Amino acid sequence: MSAPEHVIKKGGFWLSMKAVMWAFLGVRKKSGLQHDVANLSFFHIIIAGVFGALIFMTLLFLIVKAVVST
């Protein structure tokens, strides 16, 4: 028996991570935006956002450290 069409399957963590990374760049889809957002888990988005912010801060730190050391 297949699931009814009105049941929305939540996306995985990697789908949320992808959405957060594109959001950091300011890029989003114009078509199907509501459908994409409805498939993301709130918990996954929070974790992906924190993880993305840590990556961003680490990259900035490494760039500044490389520039200042020369």
* Res 27: pLDDT: 76
Structural domain boundaries of the chain? Answer: 13-69
4-29 pLDDT, tens digit per residue, is 554 445 668 888 888 888 888 877 66
36-50 pLDDT, tens digit per residue, is 667 777 888 888 889
Higher pLDDT, 60 or 12: 60
d(CA 57, CA 50): 11
